[in-house]
Amino acid sequence: MSSTRPTRVLIIGYVWPEPRSSAAGGHMMQIIESFLQCGWQITFSSPAGVGEHKADLAALGIDEVTIELNNSSFDGFIRELAPDIVLFDRFMMEEQFGWRVEKHCPNALRVLETSDLQSLRDARQQQLKARLKHTPDQDDFSSLFAPARGETFEQMAGTDLAQREIAAIYRSDLNLMISEYEIELLTEQFQVPKALLHWCPLMVDSVPETFVPYDQRQHFLSIGNFRHAPNWDSVLWMKTSIWPLIRQQLPGAQLHVYGAYTPPKATALHNPAQGFHVLNWAEDALAVMSNARICLAPLRFGAGIKGKIADAMLCGTPNVTTPVGAEGMHGDLPWAGAIEQSAGAIAARAVELYQNPQAWHQAQQHGRTLLTERYLQATHGPALVQRIEACRAHLEQHRRNNFTGAMLRHHQHKSTQYMSQWIEAKNRTV
């Protein structure tokens, strides 16, 4: 799209990106890199506080601006910036700032980075809680992993979170979806038009030609931000059910559990005598992953696709996970390890891969193939930019075709606007 100045992008972040702490932070930086490669001018803004592992955006030539919720100072900021594209990081930012963007920059393309479907993750978490309450058996969760998309829709559709999230998807011009499963759920069950969705998975620059050899590796590894509820649940399941079974078969086995923002409840699980080591944040996650022999990712609920598993494949480390962990990641290609549904099966496959070099190398090769076929930045970065430019070139028609979104913006933005203005007025009187 021809222009006398570089394309201006405003990103409104739910948090400041921390690519070494979470997959969401890593994915945001991959999107940013795709924009920078086009010469686009980026401003990153957020109402959140700065975390200790924040990416150095200024070093990339990105302007950083702190914004406030429910404050009209944002109006002057965005009018002066006059962005061509506004990217909302997760639906809550679209709820908060979408009406202000539309009011002051109506011609800016509004893009929502969903990260993952939070309403799907929440519905699955509620399922797990109900399952554990009524059947506290910690081992076999095959029934939990089995529901068809229609059943998942029934569990989600009546929730406030799903209605808010999918309304934000309709209100946006384009939505970046990290998981093909979630695209199918939205289009087939929620009837969201495909024209509003774009598959944008995790991306890797390249796939290493060589990995740390099998016989130079040791130990099991689990990694993930402890603030992310599925990660904490998986650590508990490992501690209580899976790890004891592995230690029965491999008495000298060691599990290293890494995670950003480790809370006291996690460090309390540290028990060297059991080979269970809680080691806080990994300064170099890829280094520790490359030296581990097996990555354990026994996720009982969640959504999106899993950065820890992509990292494992990038390091040539076979993983053992659940159907939730593998969801949306491998299409019709073989898995880079094992997918199991019970503590016993997860432990058995983990031990088998740990001890069997032939099976281990085959899983490693499957990971290399998956990354090459599905996750290269050279494929997905240009495809993302091309899709954005196509929407910009036909924005008026694109919006006209999305009448439901226009209707939702008309009604929801009015109520959000009035609530925000009421909060701002209230704050001034305090």
Q: 252-302 pLDDT, tens per residue?
A: 999 999 988 888 999 999 999 999 999 988 888 999 999 999 999 999 999
Residues 6+ apart with CB under 8 A from 252: 275
How confident is the model at residue 22, as a pLDDT? Answer: 84
User: Is residue 220 classed as helix, strand or coil in its secondary structure?
Assistant: strand
pTM: 0.92
Query: φ and ψ at 84, to 5 degrees?
Result: -85, -30
**Burial of 151 per CB tally in 10 Å (0-12, 13-18, 19+):** exposed
The residue among 203, 225, 251 whose CA lies nearest residue 33 is: 203
393: burial class by Cβ within 10 Å (0-12, 13-18, 19+)? exposed
Nearest by Cα to 97 from 138, 140, 56, 45: 45
Contact (Cβ atoms closer than 8 angstroms) between residue 79 and residue 105? yes
CATH of 214-374, one of 3.10.180.10, 3.30.70.920, 3.30.565.10, 3.40.50.2000: 3.40.50.2000
Backbone angles phi, psi at 109, to 5 degrees: -70, 130
Q: Are 219 and 242 in contact (CB under 8 A)?
A: no
On whether the CB atoms of residues 115 and 307 are closer than 8 A, the answer is no
Local structure of 216: helix, strand or coil: helix
222: Cα separation from own chain's centroid: 17
pLDDT for residue 414 = 60
Tens of pLDDT along 113-149? 999 999 999 999 999 998 888 876 668 888 888 777 8
Name 176's bridge partners: 113, 198
214-374 and 8-119+150-203+377-429 share a CATH fold: yes
Range in 2-16, 227-241, 359-373 with the lowest mean pLDDT: 2-16
Q: Using the predicted structure, report yes or no on whether residue 7 has a pLDDT greater than 90.
A: yes
How close are the terminal C-alpha atoms of the chain, in Å?
Answer: 48
pLDDT recorded at residue 281:
82
Does 413 have pLDDT greater than 60?
Answer: no
- 3-state DSSP assignment of residue 375: coil
**Buried b or exposed e, range 23-49, using 16+ CB within 10 angstroms:** bbbbbbbbbbebbbeeebbbbbbbbee
Q: Which of 90, 144, 148 is closest to 118 using CA atoms?
A: 90
pLDDT digits (tens, 9 = 90+) for 339-384: 999 999 999 999 999 999 999 999 999 999 999 999 999 999 999 9
Tell me which of 98-107, 239-248, 334-343, 415-424 is least confident.
Answer: 415-424
Are the beta carbons of 243 and 222 closer than 8 angstroms?
no
- Domain 8-119+150-203+377-429 class in CATH: alpha beta
| CA 141 vs CA 74, 253, 321, 345: distances in Å | 47, 25, 12, 11
**CB of 16 closer than 8 Å to CB of 48:** yes
Q: How much is the average pLDDT of 216-221?
A: 97
CA distance 91 to 88: 7
Would you place residue 227 in the very low, low, confident or very high pLDDT band (cuts 50, 70, 90)?
A: confident
Among candidates 142, 36, 10, which has minimal Cα distance to 89?
Answer: 10
pLDDT at 104: 96
Whether the pLDDT of residue 1 is over 60: the answer is no
Q: Where are the domains positioned within the chain? A: 8-119+150-203+377-429, 214-374
What does the pLDDT look like over 38-64, one tens digit per residue? 999 999 999 999 988 899 999 999 999
Of the chain, the percentage scoring pLDDT greater than 70 comes to 94
